[in-house]
């Protein structure tokens, strides 16, 4: 690891000042992704601002009837929080599908969103990677790409965002609260992460001086009909090949509202509201779910090893929606 | 807290390493005040500064769990933790588990069930088991397998490790 200077921030304004004072500075909280990348010198900050002592570690009710997850609440404390388990079980299940107990005890909710969108070549400093060294080229497009993206890719990058939590937050239409030099703002979840385009080294729309303070969950948690389906090469501690966060609001057998977000297939959690809307007012049947699945993979592109993900994603969407629908039968 | 010493002028500071940080850690019940470089991991601090070599370095990237310790009762990967960030916390390592010459019940259970071969992963497995019991979320054998997946055993002693965790869970429920 390269040497760096260290400061512990005592409030949000101080943290923003500290991170703005030096160009190559970064916030650190759980550190599970940042320190991992610093050890292999993919991340090389000259200054770290420790934000773990900021008062952003609580889960509170919002005026709109939702929950506000403080940015520093750990992934474990979020997943096992009584109100999250009861009102947002989709989020609990998604968090617990990711990483290990140790990592979930360390990683924070804000940090989960800030983990790097990545691929094996991003970690392999002996190979070109536009995300790691802009302009050096993409080793994955013509290389080994079994785990990589099929949607929203560019000729510069086909990396995937590995978070499970973020897939559930996309489906739930969470909002990300941030503070920077210019004050506070709220970023809708769908606009938080970026597609690679010709700047794959930038993962999010957060500005360099901005800090995440909280993630707001809207009142509607789809607790009656939801599923988080994660398909991977082993049953625990592996990134998704394809994952689906599915949620349904049903009136009998008729769909009032449907949400579908995919993980493991793109540079960001993948959601198509127009495809979800195909179900509105329609019976919750396999045939109708298949139409949604077809719409989700319109324009999907495989790169060889990951071609199978297109069919896998379609089948996973149908299965996840069927599971979400049939929950009552299982309980 | 800003720890750039004011007496150092910028020119000399730019040529020397960043300053060391002072931390106080309560390790296995004993307060230790240490001067550490900011990039020192908790794992390296335990092993190299305090000679507590029971905690093992496996992958050094949070994947194998050999470095698992308890910080304020919660299991974490000490390799992905900066020591300076844990100022003021209570840390329990494998060396702090036995009391008055008697092994911790989870340590004894690893021996009773022959739950290791080479033993390199064992300190991490034991700390992880205690963390799992503290969390109180494991109910089934599948839960145990899932919640212990952050601790790799390359000898493949998993069958007996699961037995240890199961026994430890049952004992904790009887208390």
CATH number of A5-50: 3.30.43.10
Q: Do B85 and B53 belong together in one domain? A: yes
Picking from B96, B129, B160, the residue at the C-terminal end of a domain is B96
CB contact under 8 A, A237 and B149: yes
Would you give the DSSP letter of residue B74? E
In whole angstroms, what is the distance from residue A319 CA to residue B25 CA? 50
Query: Which of A2, A5, A106 has the CB atom closest to B4's CB atom?
Result: A5
Q: Is residue B13 part of a domain?
A: no
User: ipTM exceeding 0.90?
Assistant: yes
Q: Is residue B120 part of a domain?
A: yes
Q: Is B79 helix (H, G, I), strand (E, B) or coil?
A: helix
Token representation of residue B167: 């026994």
Predicted local confidence at residue A331, as pLDDT: 42
Q: Give the pLDDT confidence of A232-243 residue by residue, as tens digits.
A: 999 999 999 999
Residue pair A266/A303 in contact (Cβ under 8 Å)? The answer is: no
Q: Do B109 and B77 belong together in one domain? A: no
Predicted local confidence at residue A207, as pLDDT: 97
Please state the rounded mean pLDDT for residues B99-120: 97
Q: Which fold has domain A57-331?
A: 3.30.465
Q: Is residue B10 part of a domain?
A: no
pLDDT at B15 over 70: no
Predicted local confidence at residue B18, as pLDDT: 77
Q: Is residue B4 part of a domain?
A: no
In whole angstroms, what is the distance from residue A186 CA to residue A212 CA? 10
Residues of B near A (Cβ–Cβ under 8 Å) read: 1-4, 17-19, 21, 37-39, 41, 60-62, 65, 68, 74-77, 80-82, 84-85, 128, 131-132, 135, 137, 145-150
Q: Do B147 and B84 belong together in one domain? A: no
CATH 3.30.43.10 range(s) for chain A read 5-50
CB contact under 8 A, B77 and A102: yes
Phi then psi dihedrals of residue A177, to 5 deg: -95, 130
Total residues belonging to chain A: 331
With contacts defined as CB-CB under 8 Å, which chain B residues touch A45? none
Q: Do B85 and B119 belong together in one domain? A: no
In whole angstroms, what is the distance from residue B36 CA to residue B22 CA? 6
Phi then psi dihedrals of residue A284, to 5 deg: -80, 75
Q: Do B34 and B92 belong together in one domain? A: yes
Query: Which of B3, B37, B131 has the CB atom closest to A101's CB atom?
Result: B131
Please state the rounded mean pLDDT for residues B25-33: 98
Would you give the DSSP letter of residue A227? E
Q: Which domain holds residue B118?
A: 105-174
Q: For residue B131, give the CATH number of its domain.
A: 1.10.150.120
Q: Could you count the other beta carbons within 10 Å of the beta carbon of residue A98?
A: 27
Token representation of residue A289: 């779910």
Look up tokens 């550190």; give the residue.
A31
Predicted local confidence at residue B17, as pLDDT: 73
pLDDT at B160 over 50: yes
CB contact under 8 A, A6 and B82: yes
Predicted local confidence at residue B174, as pLDDT: 83
Token representation of residue A159: 């990396």
Dihedral angle of Cα B126, B129, B135, B140, to the nearest 10 degrees? 180
Q: Is residue B3 part of a domain?
A: no
Residue pair B3/A7 in contact (Cβ under 8 Å)? The answer is: yes
Q: Do B119 and B81 belong together in one domain? A: no
- Mean pLDDT (chain B, rounded): 92
Look up tokens 């290791």; give the residue.
B116
Start-end of H helices in chain A: 12-21, 34-39, 75-79, 82-87, 89-96, 101-106, 109-114, 120-123, 165-171, 273-276, 286-296, 308-325, 327-330
Please state the rounded mean pLDDT for residues B61-67: 98
Would you give the DSSP letter of residue B98? -
Picking from B96, B115, B134, the residue at the C-terminal end of a domain is B96
Q: How confident is the model at residue B5 (pLDDT cuts 50, 70, 90)?
A: very low
Angle (nearest 5°) at CA B34 between B33 and B35: 140
Q: Could you count the other beta carbons within 10 Å of the beta carbon of residue A125?
A: 12
Q: How far is CA B54 from CA A311, A315, B59, B122, in A?
A: 48, 47, 16, 9
Residue pair B138/B165 in contact (Cβ under 8 Å)? The answer is: yes
In whole angstroms, what is the distance from residue B36 CA to residue B47 CA? 13
Predicted local confidence at residue B16, as pLDDT: 67
Chain B residue with minimum CA distance to A76: B135
Q: Give the pLDDT confidence of B142-158 residue by residue, as tens digits.
A: 999 999 999 999 999 99
Picking from B77, B96, B115, the residue at the C-terminal end of a domain is B96
In whole angstroms, what is the distance from residue A242 CA to residue A262 CA? 7
Chain A residue with minimum CA distance to B60: A36
CATH 3.30.465.10 range(s) for chain A read 57-331
Number of domains composing chain B: 2
CB contact under 8 A, B128 and A35: no
Q: Do B85 and B129 belong together in one domain? A: no
In whole angstroms, what is the distance from residue A234 CA to residue B130 CA? 25
Q: What element of type H or E holds A176?
A: strand A175-180
Q: How confident is the model at residue B173 (pLDDT cuts 50, 70, 90)?
A: confident
Q: Within 13 Å and on the Cβ side, how many CA atoms surround A68?
A: 15
Biggest CA-to-CA distance, chain A: 61
Residue pair A112/A165 in contact (Cβ under 8 Å)? The answer is: yes
CA distance B30 to chain A (A): 23
Q: How confident is the model at residue B14 (pLDDT cuts 50, 70, 90)?
A: low
Q: Which residues of chain A have pLDDT under 70?
A: 328-331
In whole angstroms, what is the distance from residue A51 CA to residue A29 CA? 6
In whole angstroms, what is the distance from residue B32 CA to residue B36 CA? 12
Burial of A46 (0-12, 13-18, 19+ CB in 10 A): middle
Q: How confident is the model at residue B6 (pLDDT cuts 50, 70, 90)?
A: very low
Q: For residue B78, give the CATH number of its domain.
A: 3.10.20.30
């Amino acid at each position: 690891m390269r040497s760096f200077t260290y400061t512990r921030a005592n409030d949000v304004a101080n943290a923003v000042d500290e991170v703005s004072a030096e160009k190559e500075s970064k916030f650190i909280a759980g550190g599970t992704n940042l320190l991992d990348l610093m050890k292999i010198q993919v991340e090389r900050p000259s200054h770290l601002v420790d934000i773990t002592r900021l008062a952003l570690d609580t889960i509170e009710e919002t005026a709109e009837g939702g929950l506000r997850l403080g940015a520093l609440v750990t992934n474990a404390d979020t997943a096992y929080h009584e109100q999250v388990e009861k009102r947002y079980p989709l989020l609990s299940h998604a968090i617990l599908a990711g990483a290990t107990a140790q990592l979930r005890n360390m990683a924070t909710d804000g940090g989960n969103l800030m983990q790097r969108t990545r691929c094996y070549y991003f970690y392999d400093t002996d190979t070109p990677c536009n995300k790691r060294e802009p302009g050096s080229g993409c080793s994955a497009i013509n290389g080994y790409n079994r785990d990589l993206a099929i949607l929203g890719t560019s000729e510069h990058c086909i990396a995937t965002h590995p978070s499970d939590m973020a897939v559930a937050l996309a489906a739930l239409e969470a909002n990300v609260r941030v503070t920077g030099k210019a004050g506070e703002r709220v970023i809708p979840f769908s606009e938080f992460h970026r597609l690679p385009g010709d700047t794959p080294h930038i993962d999010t729309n957060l500005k360099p001086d901005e800090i995440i303070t909280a993630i707001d969950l809207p009142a509607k948690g789809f607790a009656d009909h939801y599923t988080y389906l994660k398909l991977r090469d082993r049953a625990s501690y592996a990134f998704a090949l394809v994952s689906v966060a599915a949620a349904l609001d049903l009136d009998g057998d008729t769909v009032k509202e449907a949400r579908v977000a995919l993980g493991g297939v793109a540079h960001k959690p993948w959601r198509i509201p127009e495809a979800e809307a195909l179900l509105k007012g329609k019976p919750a049947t396999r045939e109708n779910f298949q139409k949604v699945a077809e719409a989700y993979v319109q324009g999907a592109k495989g790169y060889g090893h990951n071609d199978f993900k297109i069919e896998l994603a379609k089948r996973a969407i149908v299965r996840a929606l069927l599971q979400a629908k049939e929950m009552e039968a299982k309980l | 807290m800003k720890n750039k010493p004011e007496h150092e002028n910028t020119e000399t500071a730019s040529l020397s390493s960043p300053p060391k940080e002072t931390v106080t850690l309560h390790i296995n019940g004993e307060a230790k005040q240490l001067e550490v470089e900011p990039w020192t991991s908790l794992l390296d601090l335990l092993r190299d500064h305090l000679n507590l070599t029971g905690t093992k370095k496996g992958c050094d990237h949070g994947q194998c769990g050999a470095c698992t310790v308890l910080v304020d009762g919660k299991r974490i990967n000490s390799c992905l933790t900066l020591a300076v960030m844990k100022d003021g916390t209570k840390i329990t390592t494998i060396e702090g588990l036995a009391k008055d010459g008697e092994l911790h019940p989870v340590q004894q259970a690893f021996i009773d069930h022959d739950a290791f071969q080479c033993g390199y992963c064992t300190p991490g497995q034991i700390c992880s088991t205690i963390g799992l019991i503290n969390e109180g979320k494991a109910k089934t054998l599948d839960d145990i397998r899932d919640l212990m997946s952050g601790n790799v055993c390359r000898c493949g002693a998993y069958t007996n490790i699961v037995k240890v965790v199961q026994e430890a869970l049952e004992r904790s429920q009887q208390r």
